[in-house]
């Protein structure tokens, strides 16, 4: 079993930045893809970004591609999401996710482990 704990969320003004972290325990995850999803009130959970096990390959949702950066430190079993130039539309609960295959790690249905989620709120 894998336990994922997110941190770094909060309230920020439009144009501000936040850095989310996700610490994993229970298993070394260097061979697993990891990623971030988000869910706004009344909306379905949506893909944000994903990174391959070794960290060499990343993939982003178009709406965040130029503003967010995903990275990981396998020595620390930690995943990060640097979010810059935040917009009110980025307000959501953000979830850390672990998937078996990078090729399908943008699909919520393929996620093997989820974090509990952390709130990110962007004021206008």
- Show the tokens assigned to 15: 């144009």
Residue 1 pLDDT more than 90? no
Q: For residue 76, name the pLDDT band (cuts at 50, 70, 90).
A: very high
Q: What is the pLDDT of residues 6-46, one digit of tens each?
A: 999 999 999 999 999 999 999 889 999 999 999 999 999 99
Q: Which positions ≥6 away from 111 have C-beta within 8 Å?
A: 35, 37, 97, 98, 99, 105
């Amino acid at each position: 079993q894998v336990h994922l704990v997110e941190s770094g969320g909060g309230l920020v003004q439009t144009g501000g930045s936040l850095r989310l972290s996700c610490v994993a325990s229970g298993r070394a995850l260097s061979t697993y893809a990891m990623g971030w999803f988000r869910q706004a009130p009344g909306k379905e959970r949506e893909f944000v970004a994903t990174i391959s096990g070794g960290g060499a390959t990343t993939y982003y949702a178009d709406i965040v591609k130029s503003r967010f950066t995903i990275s990981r430190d396998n020595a620390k079993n930690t995943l990060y999401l640097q979010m810059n130039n935040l917009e009110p539309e980025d307000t959501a609960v953000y979830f850390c996710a672990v998937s078996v295959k990078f090729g399908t790690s943008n699909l919520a249905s393929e996620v093997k482990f989820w974090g509990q989620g952390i709130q990110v709120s962007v004021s206008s």
